[in-house]
Amino acid sequence: MQKKYSKNEILLKNKYYYNLKSINYSMKKFGILFLKIISVVLLLLLIVGLGGWTYFKSNLLNFEKDYDEKITFNTLVSNGESILDRNSNGRVDVYEDHRRSLDERVEDVFSQMSVEEKLHLLKGSGMSSAIGMNESGEGIAGAVGTIVPTPRLGLPTIYLSDGPAGLRIEPTREGDSLTYYCTAFPIASLLSSTWNTTLVERVGNAMGQEALEYGIDVILGPGANIMRHPFNGRNFEYFSEDPLLSGKMGAAMVKGIQSNGVGTSVKHFVANTQETNRNWNDARISERALREIYLKGFEIIVKDAAPWTLMSSYNRINGLHVAQDGRLLTDILRGEWGFEGLVMSDWFGGINPVDMVNAGNDLLEPGTNWQWKALREGYANGKLNKEAVDTSVKRILRLILGSKKMQSYEFSNQPDLEKHAQLTRQAATEGMVLLKNDDQTLPIKDDENLALLGVASYAFIAGGTGSGDVNEAYSISLEQGMEYANAEQNLQLEKGLGYPNIRQNIRAKELFDTHKIENSEAFIQPQGFEAMINPFNPPQRSYSTEELEEIAADASMAVITIGRNSGEGSDRVVKDDFELTAIERDLIEKATAAFHARNKKVVVVLNVGGVIETNSWKHLPDAILLAWQGGQEGGNSVVDLLLGKQTPSGRLPMTFPLDVAHHGSHKNFPIEGIEIDLSAMLLKTETPEEEYQSTIDFTNYDEGIFVGYRHFDNDKIEVSYPFGYGLSYTRFSYSEPDIRIENDTIKAIMDIKNIGEFTGKEVMQVYASKLNSIIDRAPQELVTFAKTKELAIGEQTSLSFAIPLSNLYYWDESKSDWNFEQGSYDLKFGSSSRDVKAIMRISLEPQTRP
């Protein structure tokens, strides 16, 4: 039955109904409005997004327009030689003719270029290939930069790619079943620890071969910055705290790479010693420190090895961005040192493209449309110096015409990766440094059941991150190295030869495996571009005393690996990085207690990219092997040393301090580990001077020339391991050096004999000390070094040394020139900077400089 309503009720109901209706209506209206707003916002976002993307794409990724590389040419014949008609004019031009000199060819092609083509050549083609965004079949995926082609004249694209530990390109390509892996060679700090320039040159040669066979024309490396402070996140890419060692190693690397007809870009010129605020940091350095420490290594490389290119650094020096500093890039580099190659910017480095080219920064990488526009405007309004443009263009043309691309070299995409794997293993073995070896714990003499502790034992770190990373096909851990050694061992034993058998302790392995399963995600090693920005850093496992007691009861020896990974983008920090983490310290303490209680030994392997704190725990284990980041064969190399297949002969290229604060640079180094601000690379805004913060906006290099051992020696500071230090399994005897001075060179010969029980190599370092110096000098400075060949037990060899007198010069600020102090010098022949085997006093008369 229907309810009857009174009038009032009806009114109320209607009101309610209308209210409801109106609420409903308002809600609907609101909903529609809301939807409209959302749609507009989405549309706006889409437009902004699309616009942004288009803007981004057309300015940073791909903006080359009509400059597609010309790839098909007619062939002309001249006196029986086939020559490509690059500009399709039907005759052989001088620049097309490989029989003409490079100078003639450069002048000829230059004379045929329009202004637009010249300006076009001064910047790269953008970022697309660097981030793997190549169109299928186009370019070389992962190549980080190019020198652009000039289609009208048939000039090819030149490909540039990282980096210091091997080539970095994308290992796989869409729709392509081939792979493009490269060899991960040891990091530069390990290579310099070999003190073996011949070996480093061979490594360079192999890197160059890979570049050549993958179609890359210039490798962006080696790095030659000085390790001013251990916390620079990129130290692993560099050779040393000493400019002579850095320069000699860099020169060897450049010679090796370039022997393939592939260029190098020695970086980062200059004083790029911190990552913190790297695009704006102003390195405030005295002229003397700049010349003697920071420029010196580059000077040696330029003079000894003539690199094709140098890369200017991001930072400023004394107020000016290096990429815009004509005094550094033109007066010193070209005027004083005679550098004939080109200078390219670091990626998006420099602020003002016009000022950069005017200063002698010939090539802007990776190139943006903004830069291109700015150059055209600068040319039109006269701010861009026409002579500078011509000079830079000719330098770039020289590189293009001298490249293998210009010879139409047909790269195979199949470098000999197997051969290079052998070489990287050998190089890594030679650069690992034995820091401690009590009671001849190493090499392992009897069959052992080894407990592998520390996650890095199972997941070795091959190299650092950022642009110094390499996309290798595999990386051998210590665990795998042991397995391979056992397989080899079984073969050897059949032949009646062999080394002890080392088996891995099952209990230690089980505990690790469970840990790995529990953290499976974190154990997936990032690949390709991701590996560059996301360091592989699986969590450590903490062990209880009982677990370690159980392992120690079962195993006969422990190997604990401590791993560290750093790279481009931030500097290192004290906590959990320079210092051991609480878990690592606890592990070393508990493991040594458990193993020593049973009269068993403990070895610590340091799988690190830079200096770490050692003083507080080094008394605990019996042996410490600094394995560095040894590239893709690192685990095999460590096992070669543990078993005594090779005798360690690495020596430290930097000091391991007792306390990082003891470094002369520590007061003026950013120790907070601030992450890099990537936007600063593109949005070039400067902090107002009144807001400057020390070590961020500027860094005072107050320590002057007293960097590394120069400082520790000068202030007589005890260190944990000195510069040049490293133990061997064998022992050597040394003759008194025979010294003579010939023209501008001090020559010395020293006999070295292997008087120990293992074959091995010795490194001899020569330091010079000026007696009664009237200037503020380091107590001693490395002036040369040499390494013996492998000496059999009882074998003797003589090492020859040549020290140009210029290696004794100092920068005289009063004269703004190099100067020489006459008088007596002690030449100290040492197997480290603090282990001198012979001192020879020489007296040097006033010299005219060569």
- Quick one: CA dihedral 830, 836, 841, 845, positive or negative? positive
Nearer to ligand BGC, 346 or 584 (CB): 346
Nearer to ligand BGC, 117 or 346 (CB): 346
Min dist CB 221 to ligand BGC, Å, is 7
Which residues ranging from 602 to 641 are in contact with ligand BGC (CB under 6 A)? none
Nearer to ligand BGC, 426 or 467 (CB): 467
Min dist CB 346 to ligand BGC, Å, is 5
Report d(CA 748, CA 307) in Å as an integer.
29
Widest pairwise Cα distance in the chain: 129
Min dist CB 267 to ligand BGC, Å, is 5
Nearer to ligand BGC, 532 or 750 (CB): 532
Exposed/middle/buried for 327, CB within 10 Å: 0-12, 13-18, 19+? Answer: middle
In 3D, which of 728, 733, 726, 729 has the Cα closest to residue 794? 733
Min dist CB 735 to ligand BGC, Å, is 44
Q: Of 69, 162, 325, 469, which lies in the binding site for ligand BGC, with binding defined by CB under 6 A?
A: 162
Min dist CB 572 to ligand BGC, Å, is 17
Exposed/middle/buried for 670, CB within 10 Å: 0-12, 13-18, 19+? Answer: buried
Nearer to ligand BGC, 609 or 648 (CB): 609
Min dist CB 405 to ligand BGC, Å, is 20
Nearer to ligand BGC, 348 or 669 (CB): 348
Which residues ranging from 558 to 577 are in contact with ligand BGC (CB under 6 A)? 568
SS3 61: helix
Nearer to ligand BGC, 162 or 217 (CB): 162
* Helix H or strand E segment including 420: helix 417-431
**C-beta separation of 322 from 328 below 8 A:** yes
Min dist CB 531 to ligand BGC, Å, is 13
In 3D, which of 577, 464, 474, 477 has the Cα closest to residue 531? 464
Q: Of 267, 334, 425, 601, which lies in the binding site for ligand BGC, with binding defined by CB under 6 A?
A: 267
Q: Mark 307-346 with x for binding to ligand BGC (rule: CB under 6 A) and - for no binding.
A: ---------------------------------------x
Report d(CA 410, CA 402) in Å as an integer.
15
SS3 677: coil
Which residues ranging from 440 to 479 are in contact with ligand BGC (CB under 6 A)? 467
Min dist CB 220 to ligand BGC, Å, is 4
Q: List residues bridging with 452 in a β-sheet.
A: 559
Nearer to ligand BGC, 168 or 564 (CB): 168
**C-beta separation of 750 from 764 below 8 A:** yes
Q: Mark 128-147 with x for binding to ligand BGC (rule: CB under 6 A) and - for no binding.
A: ----------------x---
Nearer to ligand BGC, 199 or 220 (CB): 220
Exposed/middle/buried for 844, CB within 10 Å: 0-12, 13-18, 19+? Answer: middle
**C-beta separation of 807 from 768 below 8 A:** yes
Which residues ranging from 346 to 365 are in contact with ligand BGC (CB under 6 A)? 346-347
Nearer to ligand BGC, 538 or 609 (CB): 609
Nearer to ligand BGC, 220 or 388 (CB): 220
Considering CB under 6 A, how many residues would be counted as binding ligand BGC?
9
Q: List residues bridging with 296 in a β-sheet.
A: none
Exposed/middle/buried for 22, CB within 10 Å: 0-12, 13-18, 19+? Answer: exposed
Exposed/middle/buried for 690, CB within 10 Å: 0-12, 13-18, 19+? Answer: exposed
- Is residue 584 at the binding interface for ligand BGC, with CB under 6 A as the rule? no
Min dist CB 232 to ligand BGC, Å, is 12
**CA 629 remoteness from chain centre:** 12
Min dist CB 298 to ligand BGC, Å, is 15
Report d(CA 536, CA 23) in Å as an integer.
57
Number of Cβ within 10 Å of residue 806's Cβ equals: 14
Nearer to ligand BGC, 467 or 728 (CB): 467
SS3 240: coil
90 backbone φψ class: left, alpha, beta (φ>0; ψ -120 to 50) = left
Report d(CA 571, CA 12) in Å as an integer.
74
Min dist CB 568 to ligand BGC, Å, is 6
Which residues ranging from 214 to 233 are in contact with ligand BGC (CB under 6 A)? 220
Min dist CB 707 to ligand BGC, Å, is 21
Q: Where along the sequence are the contacts to ligand BGC (CB under 6 A)? A: 144, 162-163, 220, 267, 346-347, 467, 568
